[in-house]
Every structure is written in C-alpha cells, then in structure tokens.
Amino acid sequence: MNFNITNSPLNEIKADLELVIVIDKNLKHPTVKDRKLLKKANFSGAQNEVCHLVEKNRLYVGADNLKGAAIRPAVASAIRSLIGKKSYKHIKVATYVSHPRCSASIRAMAEGFVLGAYTFTEYKSQKSKCPVKTVEISLEGYEPHEISMETAARAVHNGEIVASATNYTRNIVNTPPDDFYPESMEKKAKKLAKELGLGCKVLDIKALEKEKMNALLAVGRASRHEPKVIHLSYKPKNPKKVISLVGKGLTYDSGGLSLKPGDYMVTMKADKSGASAVIGMMKAIAELGLDIEVHGFLGMVENMIGGDAYKPDDVLKAKNGKTIEVRNTDAEGRLVLADVLCYAQQEVKADYLFDFATLTGACVVGVGHYTSGVMGHCEELKNMVRQQAKIAGEMVTPLDFNDYLKKTLKSDIADICNISNTRYGGAITAGLFLSEFIDEDHKEKWAHVDIAGPAFVEHVWGENPSGASGAGVRMMVRLMESLSRDNTH
C-alpha cells in the first residue's frame, strides 16, 4: 500500500473511492454529502459502523472523536470491508486532526489502513486480499487546522512502519506449528538482521548447556525441534538509552505431561506471541532509526510429550542457580523466561528490561481478551507502559505484586515452585515467579507484560483481525520512541 500526501482539495483528486469518516455521529458536517442516502441505509455514524454507497463511490465510517484511538479502528474497519472487492485500488481521504499541528490522528489513520488491510491467506486455495494499492491523503482537513506536508509525511511514514511490523508479527503467530518451530525463528531472525544491519547471535543446544539454561532445556527436551535462544541487537552511535526486550517463544505448547484438554490445545501456536512481538519491535525500531540501543532476546522452545519429557516432581536448576520444583509442566513459559531473563541481564546492563509472554490464562480471566497485564516493582515504569499503550491504541492494566501471593510459591524441597498452591491470582504469581530471576541491578528497571488476552482472539475486534493481533508491538515502539526523545541519561 502506497501513501501519497497532497495539498490538492479532495474534489480535484481522482480515485476509485472516497473514504469519509463521520465524527461523533455528526451527519450534518459539510464532509457528509449523502445524508439522505445514509438515512435510508439507517447509518448512524457509530464507532466502526460502515456504509458503502457504491453508486456514489463513497465509503462512510463512524468514529467517536478525532483522537487516534477512535480513528485507527474506524479506518481499519472501513478498509476491511473492501477485502475481496477488486474494483477499489485507489482511495482518497481528508486529514482528520484534533488540534493544530497535531499529527497523531494522521499516524493513526495510516496505521488503520495497513492494519485493516491485513489478511492471512497462506493456507487458503482461494485468497481474498485487500485491493487498495494507493491512498491519497489530502491536507484539506475535516477541521480547518493547518498541518505541514513534512509533518503529515513523517506521521504517515512512522505509522506505516509500525503497522507493517505489527502485521509481520501477526504472520509469525498465525503460522501453524508444523511450519514454524525454533529453527524457523532462527532463519527469520538472521534474514531480518541481514536486511536491517542488526546483530544476531543464536545459542544452540551446546551453547544453552554451557550457559546452564537447564529450565529452558527441560521444557524442550521431548520435542524433535531443538530449542534456540536468539539475541538480536540494534546499536546506533551514542544511544540515549539501552533497552532489553525478552520474549516467550513457545512455538507450540501441548502442556507437556500435564497435557492440556483437546480444545485448549487449539490456538497454542499463539504461545510464541511474546517472542514474535519482540522481533516485530526490533524490525520497527531499526526501520525508524531510533536513537536508543535495543536488544531482543527470543526464547524459542516447543513443549511436547514423550519418553524424555520433563515431569511433575522434577527439580530443575535455573541459570542463576535457583532450584525449581515442577508441579505442572504446563507452567512452562515461566521456566523458559527465567533462563532467558538471566541470560539477558548477563549480556546487557540495560536501563530498562521488559518481557512479553502469553503467560497465563488467569490474566485473560482477570482482565479479558483485549487487555494486557503489566507487573513489576516500579510504579513509574508500569505507568509508562500503560501511558504509551493508550497512545498506541492498546489496552494495559497494572496487576500489583503482594507478599501474600508470593508465599504461595514456596516449595518444601526446592527454592521455589513453578506454580502456586492456590488457584487464584495466577497472573500475579507467575509474575512473582519471574521476579525471582531479576537481579538487584534490574529490579526497578523491569516490567513483565502478560499479553495472553489480546495476542490471539478468534474474532475481529477494532483494528485487529480474527487470530493474531501483534499485541505489544505498537505500544512498545511508542514507548521506545519516547525514550529516544528523552535527553536524560
């Protein structure tokens, strides 16, 4: 999809279709030229409501306001409605900004176009794709706010990069487990590193053994696909901050010997969403050329059953020397992350350390499908994640640690147990488990983000399709953009 920005008025631009966004159900606004037809179609202009007037070559969609959080899903909903309709290759649209010189809504609009056009048709014999090739954005605005060509172009460019990186992540998550396993991520990481000039280091079985990542190795022991830990690095000159990103990459999770029920195994290809988000973040950061040093660590493992599977009652020794009593082999993601977090802290002394994982069903129970939970010891850092998520159009809520839940991880035979002794508070106890593998230097610099809810949802929601959403990419890129503008060290 190509974006062109022009000073030409909309009525001078030739296109197959005009997209009109109706703000706050205001059908009397001058941009709404087909009030009678819209009334006949019972179109009210509600958020994400779409009405395609074929004979007028206009596509209307509703948005509650001019903020990015409303514009992004509205545009995505409109574009999604064109998938499979081959006649519409060239679209024109006005700019929608909330106040002078503000480009956030323009960026959100560009993101909406790219995110809404996404389809995953790799395995379909008949592929239905979005036909739109070119989007003409006129600086003729919904409101008479002035915005420069340069500002608009930069907003569109950045939005296109971040949305494309989100779609890149979606593709990885959506790929079935027989076609995507640890070695697949290794190949993808090496290809990305070559294209963008990133550093790429891959730890194989021997290297993992040397690094004493015994918890991670135990999880992958019964799979025919050997585990990998991948370290991608982006190092500009004189960076303002150093960031480490850690992702859980369970390419498939059967639950191990604590076997999941059959219907719970469906969609477990999505258990690699954390690592997939991290590689998507690395792609966007490099393409944006941010003035921060970023390291991405991907823990790629497949959790299967077999004669060599790790077992409940096993005691594992993690990289930092702590022993872990295994009470449930389906609590495997935290074992992988424990070792990868230790490795990340060993390799990089970061200003901030974030990990991302589809870690617990408890988080979905607690906050729903559409919201991620953020945990850690630093309130300021959790608030930073939440604030940038809101700007990016993602939903995050803090889940606070407490000493009472920490006690439920106590083991009588090891330093810690991999599950708590209570069925309640499972998202927080998983986060508390991970905190045992954060050293003192990083304790106030670390945040854990559980993306189990929004990472993979089996219906369309907002700007997200059915299936993988690319959760985490947009909010973390926004956060790192803000850090790259920070003049403090």
For residue 87, the number of C-alpha atoms closer than 13 Å in the C-beta half-sphere is 8
Q: Name the nearest CA neighbour of 273 among 173, 187, 394.
A: 173
Give, as one character, the DSSP assignment of residue 47.
B
Q: Which residue is associated with the tokens 């993992």?
A: 208
DSSP sequence for 233-274: EE--SS-S-EEEEEEEEEEEE--TTSPPPHHHHTTGGGGGHH
Tell me, what amino acid is at 296? G
Cα separation, 264 vs 255, whole angstroms: 9
* Helix orientation angle between 273-288 and 473-484, rounded to the nearest 10 degrees: 40
State the chain's maximal CA–CA distance in angstroms. 76
- Mapped onto helix, strand or coil, the DSSP state of residue 92 is strand
Q: Which residues contact 8 (CB under 8 A, 6 or more apart)?
A: 138, 140
DSSP category for residue 450: E
Indicate which residues carry an active-site annotation: 260, 334
Helix (H) or strand (E) holding 90: strand 90-95
Residue written as token pair 């992988």: 336
Q: What is the C-alpha separation between 305 and 329, in angstroms, rounded?
A: 10
